[in-house]
């Protein structure tokens, strides 16, 4: 399986980031946000810059993060006559986080060519090796979920699972627990996948927490699918939380009730 994070050139933004929340660089405090005011969230802020020499095929625009009655919609819009054919949306923490449990309640975007994700990341832009842990959905088939991870830019034992529902139909709970011994991913509180025992490719560097929706450059369409998505499509996020390893704290799953599965 080919993943787009093995881009051939280093990626650096063209425009400066907006002012981020005042969070320590390496934080081991728990947090939970319901994204009730995504333009002024205490933990996550919107990316807002042009991309260059990247697998991403859209520029990030803060205005594509839209408030909803129950969280934030990260939308993608087609544009004409610009340096990229679309603008996309991303939110990230200012601090870096390490071992612990990461939870998100989200609904991925539907549409071929789109990728919706929740992940931790650090890399060369922060002066670190490329370490990453991913939960991803491809808009061409939102009945499947992708789990992946990186250490020093090398992908690990990634896996793809069929879901008993279409993830794009409703906001649902997803999570991963990261420890020095391994990573376990969860769907609706049920463990789906754990990294192999004694895996030497586990990430170790603390990373920022990200969520985004995007379309890729043409050279990764074999993975993302031909871009036929509608302009304005987006991924919805209604909760993000982190609890450090060995500590207690509020999580998105504490008062979560699974939605009913829609009939075919």
Q: Give the residue-averaged pLDDT of 113-127.
A: 96
pTM to 2 decimal places: 0.90
Percent of the chain with pLDDT over 70: 88
Given 136, 181, 217, 221, the catalytic residue: 136
Backbone angles phi, psi at 203, to 5 degrees: -65, 150
Residue 64 · residue 87 · CB < 8 Å: yes
Contacts of 159 (CB under 8 A, 6+ apart): 146, 147, 193
Lowest-confidence segment of 5-14, 44-53, 155-164 by average pLDDT: 5-14
Percent of the chain with pLDDT over 90: 84
Q: Give the residue-averaged pLDDT of 101-115.
A: 98
Give the model's pLDDT for residue 82: 85
pLDDT in tens, 156-202: 999 999 999 999 999 999 999 999 999 999 999 999 999 999 999 99
Give the model's pLDDT for residue 27: 63
Lowest-confidence segment of 1-10, 53-62, 75-84 by average pLDDT: 1-10
pLDDT in tens, 195-233: 999 999 999 999 999 999 999 999 999 999 999 999 999
Given 36, 63, 66, 132, the catalytic residue: 132
Task: Report d(CA 92, CA 221) in Å as an integer.
Answer: 25
136 belongs to the catalytic site: yes
Q: Give the residue-averaged pLDDT of 242-263.
A: 90
Give the model's pLDDT for residue 262: 59
Task: Report d(CA 121, CA 128) in Å as an integer.
Answer: 10
Task: Report d(CA 51, CA 220) in Å as an integer.
Answer: 16
Give the model's pLDDT for residue 70: 97
CATH of 32-244 among 2.60.120.200, 1.10.3720.10, 3.90.110.10, 3.90.70.10: 2.60.120.200
Each domain of the chain, given as residue ranges in start order, spans 32-244
pLDDT of 263 strictly over 60 = no
Give the model's pLDDT for residue 26: 58
Task: Report d(CA 212, CA 88) in Å as an integer.
Answer: 8
Distances from the Cα of 28 to the Cα of 132, 204, 206, angstroms: 17, 14, 10
pLDDT of 36 strictly over 50 = yes
Query: Average pLDDT of the chain?
Result: 90
């Amino acid at each position: 399986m080919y993943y787009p994070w093995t881009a051939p050139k280093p990626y650096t933004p063209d425009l400066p980031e907006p002012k981020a929340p005042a969070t320590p660089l390496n934080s081991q405090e728990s947090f939970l946000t319901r994204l009730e005011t995504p333009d002024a969230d205490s933990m996550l802020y919107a990316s807002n810059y042009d991309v260059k020499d990247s697998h991403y095929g859209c520029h990030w625009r803060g205005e594509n993060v839209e408030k909803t009655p129950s969280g934030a919609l990260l939308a993608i819009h087609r544009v004409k006559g610009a340096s990229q054919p679309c603008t996309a949306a991303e939110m990230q923490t200012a601090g870096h986080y390490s071992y612990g449990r990461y939870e998100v309640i989200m609904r991925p975007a539907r549409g071929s060519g789109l990728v919706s994700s929740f992940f931790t990341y650090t890399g060369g832009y922060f002066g670190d090796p490329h370490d990453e842990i991913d939960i991803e959905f491809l808009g061409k088939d939102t009945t499947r979920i992708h789990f992946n991870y990186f250490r020093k830019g090398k992908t690990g034992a990634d896996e793809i699972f069929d879901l008993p529902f279409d993830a794009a139909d409703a906001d649902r709970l997803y999570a991963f627990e990261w420890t020095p011994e391994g990573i376990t991913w969860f769907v609706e509180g049920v463990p789906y996948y754990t990294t192999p025992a004694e895996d030497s490719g586990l990430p170790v560097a603390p990373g920022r927490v990200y969520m985004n929706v995007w379309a890729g450059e043409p050279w990764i369409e074999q993975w993302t699918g031909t871009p036929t998505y509608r302009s304005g499509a987006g991924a919805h996020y209604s909760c993000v939380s982190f609890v450090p390893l060995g500590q207690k704290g509020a999580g998105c799953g504490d008062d979560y009730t699974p939605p009913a599965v829609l009939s075919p």
